[in-house]
């Protein structure tokens, strides 16, 4: 079986001694051409995987920054067809792995099988449905996998061992660890319990040998650097969308490069060791 583009991205990052840099953009924000330009900037910075968010009218898991991005995108008329067009344009320019980040409803409204087929044809490599728990994915996950898409599920600090194992069994590509409970959004620091949460997720995913990515609340290079020490991938969304919103493309590019650099694991030298 051919290795997926997502699996290859994690393998390449691990081989280079770093965590995979996973960025997020809301499709259609700022405008269709703006999304492609930001994706291009992330590609130049060295992003390994790009999550492309489908704007939704009731984004219950999103914080204020991503809610505003979704509202702007919907006001501009972004539809699933527009998301497919954006993905095709990004794919023409880049080999970056693409993950469709969506709530379940937009895909079900269109028809799940049709959505999966069209997503794959547009260039997506995987799907993350943020409001789909593993126990309710029995008919949905096989349809996505049949279309050739990896399926990524979420676990959180409050997930039981059984819930983590269920999510890991349903996942391919990677298992996504939510760093904290609540909505997305930039935070000043990582929770002290995150390392233990990642360790529990790694045990749950050991049979499938899934990489573990951490997201929700990672907003600075220091936080990304800390997460990269024990996770296989680091997901940054609100900080990137917020930088584009507040300060424009140049600031977005600078932050992207700093985050990519932060995902490189540096070997800590023993101060007593002679060079």
Q: Which two tokens mark 11?
A: 């393998």
Rg (CA), the chain: 18
3-state secondary structure the chain: CCCCHHHHHHHHHHHCCECEEEEEEECCCCHHHHHHHHHHHHHHHCCCEEEEECCCCCCCCCCHHHHHHHHHHHHCCCCHHHHHHHHHHHHHHCCCEEEEEECHHHHHHHCHHHHHHHHHHHCCCEEEECCCCHHHCCCHHHHHHHCCCEEECEECCCCCHHHHHHHHHHCCCCEEEECCCCCCCCCCCCCCCHHHHHHHHHHHCCCCCCCEEEECCCCCHHHHHHHHCCCCEEEECHHHHHHHHHHCHHHHHHHHHHHHHHCECCCCCCCCCCC
Token look-up 């390392």 returns 195
Report d(CA 21, CA 19) in Å as an integer. 6
The count of residues in the chain is: 275
Do 73 and 55 meet the contact criterion of CB atoms below 8 Å apart?
yes
- Would you name the residues annotated as active-site residues? 51, 62
């Amino acid at each position: 079986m051919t290795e997926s583009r997502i699996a290859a991205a994690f393998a390449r990052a691990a081989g280079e001694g770093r965590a995979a840099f996973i960025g997020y953009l809301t499709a259609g924000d700022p405008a269709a051409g703006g999304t492609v330009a930001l994706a291009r900037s992330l590609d130049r910075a060295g992003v390994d995987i790009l999550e492309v968010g489908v704007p939704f009218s009731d984004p219950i898991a999103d914080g204020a920054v991503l809610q505003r991005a979704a509202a702007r995108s919907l006001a501009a008329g972004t539809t699933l067809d527009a998301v497919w067009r954006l993905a095709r344009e990004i794919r023409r320019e880049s080999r970056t792995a693409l993950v469709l980040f969506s709530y379940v409803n937009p895909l079900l409204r269109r028809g799940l099988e049709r959505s999966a087929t069209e997503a794959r044809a547009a260039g997506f490599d995987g799907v993350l449905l943020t409001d789909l728990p593993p126990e309710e994915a029995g008919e949905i996950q096989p349809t996505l996998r049949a279309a050739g898409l990896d399926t990524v599920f979420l676990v959180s600090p409050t997930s039981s061992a059984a819930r983590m194992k269920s999510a890991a069994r349903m996942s391919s590509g990677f298992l996504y660890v939510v760093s904290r409970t609540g909505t997305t959004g930039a935070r000043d620091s990582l929770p002290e319990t995150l390392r233990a949460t990642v360790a529990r997720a790694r045990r749950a995913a050991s049979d499938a040998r899934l990489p573990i990515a951490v997201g929700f609340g990672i907003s600075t290079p220091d936080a990304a650097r800390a997460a990269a020490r024990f996770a296989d991938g680091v997901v940054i969304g609100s900080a990137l969308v917020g930088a584009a919103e507040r300060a424009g493309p140049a600031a977005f590019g600078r932050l992207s490069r700093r985050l990519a650099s932060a995902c490189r694991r540096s070997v800590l030298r023993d101060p007593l060791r002679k060079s």
